Every structure is written in C-alpha cells, then in structure tokens.
Amino acid sequence: MIQIPTIDWGVLMPTIIVFVTGIIGLLVEMFRPKQNNNLIVGLSLAGLTAAFVLLLGQLGAEPTTTIANMVFRDQLAVLLQLVMLGATALCFLFSEGYLRQRRIAFGEFYPLALWSLGGAMIMVGTQNLLMLFVGLEVLSIALYCLSGMARGDQRSEESALKYFLLGAFASAFLLYGIAFIYGASGTLDLEGFKIALYATDSTFVMAVFAIALMLVGLGFKAALVPFHQWTPDVYQGAPTNVTAFMSIISKVAAMGALIRVLTAADALQNFWFPALTGIAIATMTVGNLVALVQKDVKRALGYSSVAHAGYLLVGILAHLKMPVEIPLASVIFYFVTYTAMTIGAFAMISITAKDGKEGTRTQDLNGMWRKAPYAAGVLFICLVSLIGVPPTGGFFGKLAIFNDALAAGLPVLAITLAINSVISTFYYWQIAKAAFVDDEPALQTDFAHLNPGLKLTGAICVIGVLGIAFMASPLINSGSTAGRDTMSVIQLEPDVQDTPAIAVPIPTEVNQEVR
Amino acid sequence: MNTFLNLPLAGAVYEDIPLGHFLTLSLAMFALGSIGVLIRKNPVIVFMCIELMLNAVNLSFLAFAAYPNSHVQANNAFESAMAGQAMVIVVMAIAAAEVAVGLGIIMAIFRYRNNVDVDDMNTMRG
C-alpha cells in the first residue's frame, strides 16, 4: 500500500547543501568558540557557491517532481532560488565587518541565515501545502532569532518580539487557509486543488474563504498593505545585515508561494483578482506616502520595500491575468534588480555602525561623501535605481512591469505604478542628499572603515544595477518559460486521470512551442 | 483500510455529529484566539492565544480528515486522510519550535526592562 517514493537527489541537492553548510558552520563555531568567524564565512560562501553552480546546471531542465510530489522543480523555482542564493552571498560578504563593529560578532548568524534560506528554497520549490508551511516556518523562525540578534540593543529585541508575535499570528491565518483548501479538495497538493476547483463548485465557498485566509498569511510575509505594519519596526530594529537579508529572502519566498497558490486557484480569479488589485494599489501608495515623512533611513527603506512589493504584485497580477501571453520574466528581472539595489543600499548604510554604536537617522549620513566617498557613490547609484532613473536596472524593471500591466489590460495599476515612482523620488532624494551634504558638522558620525568584503558587495551591486540591462537577455529568455509550465507537469494520479468529467486546461502545447 | 490501530480513519461517517459542528467549534476557537491576540497586552498571553488559533486549525484538519470528501476517490481516501493527520503532527511540532524561540525572545526583553507589556514596545517611531 505505502510505497517508498523515488528520490531525485539532483533536484534536492542545492537545498541539502545549504542546510548541511549551516550545520557544519555551527559545528565549527562549537569547536572554535570565541575566535573570529572567517572560517564560517568562508565555508558558508563555499556552500552557497556550490549550490548556486548546481542550480545553474538545472536552469533549462524539464520541470520535475520528486519524493511523492513533495518537491517540485521548474524554471520559476530554480530562478527564485538562484536569486535568493545570490542575495544571501552578498549579505554574508559585508556581514562580518558590520557585526564586529556592532560588537555582536556571533558565529551563529551564518548558520541561522543559511537555514532561513533553506526554508525559503523549500517554500518556492514545492506544490504541496504541507511543504510550503514547513518552509515558511523554517524561514520565519530563523528570522525571528536573527532580528533579535543584537542582544544589547533594546530596539533589536523589540523588533524580534513584534516580528515573532505578528508572524505567528499570520502563520495561523495561512494555516487556517490550508485547512480549508484541504477541506475543499481533500488534498494538500495544489495541483489536486486546481483539479477539484474545476471539477465542481460544490465546495466553492470554502475555497474562496481558504484563498482569502492564505492571502493574509502570505501578504504578511511579502509585506503587502494592510499586513505591512511589522515592516518598518523590524527593518529599523534588526541589525542592518539581517534587514538586508530578510528584505530579499522573505519577499521572494512569499511572492513565489503566492504565484503558485494563485495559479492553482485561477478558477476563482473573479474573487481574488479585484481584491489583489486593491491591495496592489494600496501597497504602492501607502508604502511611498508614509516613507516621505520618515526620519530614519532603515525605516524609510522598510516602507520603500513595501512599495516595491506593490510593484512586484502588479507584475504578478499581469502574469496571472494572461498566464500564457505574459511570462513571469519581468517579475524575475525585477527581483534581481531589487536584490542588487536593496542590498547595496543597506550594505552602505551599515558603515554608520562603529565601535558598538549605530545611528541610522537621515542626518547621521551627513558627511558620508567626504569621509567615505566609495560608500556614498554606491549608495547614490542604488538609490537612483530604486527611484527608477533610466540607465539603471530599476528603470528597466519598472518599465517591463509597466508594459506587462498595460498588455494585460490593467491600466489603473500601470498608472498607479508610474505615479508612485514619481512620489518615491522625494524620500530617496532626501537620503541621497543627506549623504552628500555636511551642513551639521556636530552631528557627523564616524563611519566605519570600508573592509574589502563591503567594497566587494558594493561593486557587485553597482555592476548588477548598471549592467543588468545588458546582461538581461539570457535571463529574460530563460524566464519566458517560467510560470507557463508551473502547473502542467505534476503527474496526475492514475485514478484521477481516468475520470472523464475533469477537464483541466493545461497549456502543454505552448510549452512545446517555446522549446 | 478504514482503521489503523482500531481508530476510525477515512470514510468513517459520524452520523451523530455533522462535520459542520466541528467546523463551527473550530471557527469559534479561531475567532477567540484572534480577539485575544488583538486585545491582550502580555506577550505570553498573546502567544497562548496564537496557540489556541493553531489548535483550532488542527481541529479543522482532523475533522476534514475524518469525513469523506466528494473530490477524493474511494481508493485514495486513505492517503487523503493521512495527509490531513500528518499536517496536524507537523503543525504541533512547529508550534513547539515557535514556543522555544518566542519564550527566548520574551526572556531577553524581560532582562532589560522587567516589563514585557506590548503597549510599551514603542521605542521606534516613524
């Protein structure tokens, strides 16, 4: 009756490498306590590189599923995992210098971040709601610990408590949604849920309720308005390297899961599409308007990340409206640019931490141009890209999403996006201006010395932000199949296949055309 | 394959108690938990309310697993029921992990201010 499922180790290996590297890092910390963390950083970067290379090899591979449909690999999963691996490596490069300046150089940061990354990789690489929930919790629980890592800093502890309580609250909603999906379809598999939705509408109300609850849970993780209240506090209170890490990983994973759940629920599009349109408009507008009055750079960037979640949601909605005509390429392109510019900005702000003190108010950046011109230059380029000024990746990303929204017949979303880009100019400009003036010498901070890791992070981010427009074509080509084959490959159970009443529109012909 | 260790599993119809009763109880527990999270001020109590919500979810999972589902073929009923029950085990394990981290965070704050009222968590303003 119960068969041992076949395991495709190639699919699992990147995730396994990430987890095992974390375990080895913790063992190293255990055997070499109270010493510097360079060995752990090196090991972690080696592990991340190995996983990255393995995943690169799977970039064009056929979608496949393994361990009894628990793990699912398609183009979307591979691309999102690559983005997250790259983001983590960038964070690790500048973390050690920052943590030493803050006097919180605990070796546990690296294993916890790696496990959090592993959870996120599980989350985007599955069609099973049990796995999705486990991945989300592995991601979140490690992040709760990380945001409270600065144990001497009351704000860090406070942000950890807020993140923890609200995060657990949101997971309960997500879980209740999963329970109702299970009740509506009798399975935890999203493919089975999709089939059940098309088969009959007797469990229709339950499914609508389930999707609404899941939107609350995933919207919290992705920081969509009105579930964004935790974002500014946690971004401000957590150590800057953790903020940079979570602004990418948490968002990418939640958006990936959102794409999968909504793709499975496309029979209910009449219900969730208007709701998500409203959420997208609110997310962009509230994020940008509230950011205008912020006095703290990390807090302003927190609201900016809320706004960017809104831009991403516009791209995702355009894809979900026309899954075949509009691929997810522009969303993935935006993820890559968002990673480069956000991590670049946070990494440069991290130099305000020196000798155990850190000031991240806007005026604390005064004089940065004179004392640390390299950091000020990188920060400026990243902020310009966050605004979306033409030669940078941020502009091309926003343009691609804008075009997608117009092509999908969503002019309201496209116009809101354009207006919000203009609004966002003002607060990014305030931050950039603070770094380039020194009118209040009394307030001037001593900036930390720029270590090679930080310089490397800055260089990679600038290259990413400026060069992505030229490097984008292979990405867009490979991204053009992402999302199209998301739902078409899971093998149907034999007995389900025999049932004639079920007609699921699976765009297999389209896939063949593309290849 | 309807029983496992003599416990009713899939397809065992409880004629006395309809599924709706379980779901109503579960919804009531979930609502009580959410209200508690929103109005209580002690983080430990807030966390207890979150646990109540998780238990409400577990009850729904078990109720859905015990009743036959019109979308599940008869020869798939066992797997379908096992999926819901496995989910409950996973949820309980994860809730335990969350307790460990959450109490650790609450302890860390208590060390600084001898007061963990969530209304006093306002050192960050925008």
Q: Which of A115, A133, A165 to mutate to test the interface with B (most CBs of B within 10 A)?
A: A165
Which of A434, A388, A147 lies closest to A284, judged by CA? A388
| Distance, CA of A310 to CA of A277 (rounded, Å) | 10
Per-residue confidence (pLDDT) for residue B70, from 0 to 100: 77
Cβ atoms of B62 and B84 closer than 8 Å: yes
Q: Which of A161, A200, A294 sits opposite B121 (nearest CB)?
A: A161
Q: What percent of chain A has pLDDT over 70?
A: 89
Which of B68, B52, B87, B58 lies closest to B13, judged by CA? B68
Cβ atoms of A162 and B47 closer than 8 Å: no
**CB neighbour list of residue A243: distance below 8 Å, 6 or more residues apart:** A234, A235, A298, A301, A302, A346
Biggest CA–CA distance in chain B, Å, is 60
Backbone angles phi, psi at B121, to 5 degrees: -85, 75
| Distance, CA of A98 to CA of A121 (rounded, Å) | 26
A–B CB contacts, 8 A cutoff, strictly below: 149
A65 beta partners: A72
Please count the helices (runs of H) and the strands (runs of E) in chain B. 3, 2
**Residue B91 corresponds to which tokens in the numbers above?**
């949820």
Which of A162, A126, A169, A129 lies closest to A147, judged by CA? A162
Cβ atoms of A187 and B64 closer than 8 Å: no
Flag whether pLDDT at B10 surpasses 80: no
What residues of B are in contact with residue A293 (Cβ under 8 Å)?
Answer: 126
Per-residue confidence (pLDDT) for residue A514, from 0 to 100: 37
Q: How far is CA B12 from CA A92, A184, B19, in A?
A: 53, 18, 12
Q: Which has the higher per-residue pLDDT, B125 or B86?
A: B86
Bridge pairing between strands A357-358 and B3-4: unpaired
Helix (H) or strand (E) holding B8: strand B7-8
Cβ atoms of A77 and A256 closer than 8 Å: yes
Per-residue confidence (pLDDT) for residue B27, from 0 to 100: 96
Cβ atoms of B97 and A141 closer than 8 Å: yes
SS3 A125: coil
Per-residue confidence (pLDDT) for residue A36, from 0 to 100: 81
| Distance, CA of A338 to CA of A385 (rounded, Å) | 9
Averaged over B62-74, what is the pLDDT? Answer: 83
Backbone angles phi, psi at B98, to 5 degrees: -65, -40
Flag whether pLDDT at A185 surpasses 50: yes
Per-residue confidence (pLDDT) for residue A449, from 0 to 100: 81
Confidence band for A509, pLDDT divided at 50, 70 and 90:
very low
SS3 B94: helix
Q: Burial of A461 by CB count in 10 Å (0-12 exposed, 13-18 middle, 19+ buried)?
A: buried
- Ranges assigned E (strand) in A400-462: none
**Residue A454 corresponds to which tokens in the numbers above?**
């930080």
Per-residue confidence (pLDDT) for residue B122, from 0 to 100: 75
pTM for the whole structure: 0.89
Per-residue confidence (pLDDT) for residue B126, from 0 to 100: 54
Flag whether pLDDT at B7 surpasses 70: no
SS3 A341: helix
Helix (H) or strand (E) holding A157: helix A154-185
- pLDDT tens track for A80-117: 999 999 999 999 999 999 999 888 888 889 999 999 99
| Distance, CA of A259 to CA of A328 (rounded, Å) | 10
Across the interface, whether the CB atoms of B105 and A144 are under 8 A apart is answered yes
Q: How far is CA A469 from CA A312, A337, A338, A473, A475, in A?
A: 18, 10, 13, 8, 10
Q: Which has the higher per-residue pLDDT, B106 or A498?
A: B106
**Residue A63 corresponds to which tokens in the numbers above?**
């979608």
Q: How far is CA A250 from CA A135, A137, A287, A511, in A?
A: 11, 11, 17, 30
Q: Which domains does chain B have, with CATH numbers?
A: 17-120 (1.10.287.3510)
Q: How far is CA A269 from CA A219, A277, A394, B81, in A?
A: 17, 11, 30, 28
* A53 min Cα distance to partner chain B (Å): 31
| Distance, CA of A329 to CA of A75 (rounded, Å) | 11
- pLDDT tens track for A441-466: 655 667 888 888 899 999 999 998 88
B8 beta partners: B3
Q: Mean pLDDT score of chain A, rounded to an integer? A: 86
- pLDDT tens track for A198-240: 886 667 888 999 999 999 999 999 999 899 999 999 999 999 9
Q: What is the DSSP letter of A501?
A: T
Which of A275, A319, A286 lies closest to A424, judged by CA? A286
Which chain B residue shows the shortest CA-CA distance from A163?
B102
Per-residue confidence (pLDDT) for residue A61, from 0 to 100: 83
In this structure, which amino acid lies at residue A217?
Answer: G
Residue with tokens 């991945």: A135
Cβ atoms of A361 and A296 closer than 8 Å: yes
- pLDDT tens track for A268-300: 899 999 999 999 999 999 999 999 999 899 999
Flag whether pLDDT at B75 surpasses 80: no
Flag whether pLDDT at A473 surpasses 60: no
**Residue B11 corresponds to which tokens in the numbers above?**
């397809």
A357 beta partners: A354
In this structure, which amino acid lies at residue A265?
Answer: A
Averaged over A169-198, what is the pLDDT? Answer: 92
* A404 min Cα distance to partner chain B (Å): 34
Residue with tokens 């260790």: B5
Backbone angles phi, psi at A318, to 5 degrees: -60, -40
Cβ atoms of A134 and A86 closer than 8 Å: no
* A179 min Cα distance to partner chain B (Å): 6
Confidence band for A134, pLDDT divided at 50, 70 and 90:
very high
Flag whether pLDDT at A515 surpasses 60: no
Per-residue confidence (pLDDT) for residue A356, from 0 to 100: 79
| Distance, CA of B98 to CA of B109 (rounded, Å) | 17
Averaged over A476-488, what is the pLDDT? Answer: 45
Query: Residue B79 CA to chain centroid, in angstroms?
Result: 21
| Distance, CA of A465 to CA of A9 (rounded, Å) | 35
Flag whether pLDDT at A257 surpasses 90: yes
Q: Which of residues 60-119 of B touch A (CB under 8 A)?
A: 60-61, 64, 69-73, 75-76, 78, 80, 83-84, 86-87, 90-91, 94, 97-98, 101-102, 104-106, 108-109, 112-113, 116, 118
Confidence band for B113, pLDDT divided at 50, 70 and 90:
confident
What residues of A are in contact with residue B41 (Cβ under 8 Å)?
Answer: none
Give A290's Cβ-side CA count (13 Å radius).
22
Per-residue confidence (pLDDT) for residue B125, from 0 to 100: 65
Averaged over A427-439, what is the pLDDT? Answer: 86
Cβ atoms of A262 and A181 closer than 8 Å: no
ipTM: 0.90
Which chain B residue shows the shortest CA-CA distance from A158?
B121
Q: Which has the higher per-residue pLDDT, B29 or A107?
A: B29
Measured in Å, how far apart are chain B's first and last C-alpha atoms? 60
Backbone angles phi, psi at A376, to 5 degrees: -65, -40
* A154 min Cα distance to partner chain B (Å): 7
Q: Which of B23, B72, B105 sits opposite A164 (nearest CB)?
A: B105
Flag whether pLDDT at A68 surpasses 90: no
Flag whether pLDDT at A60 surpasses 90: no
- pLDDT tens track for B36-62: 999 998 999 999 999 999 999 999 999
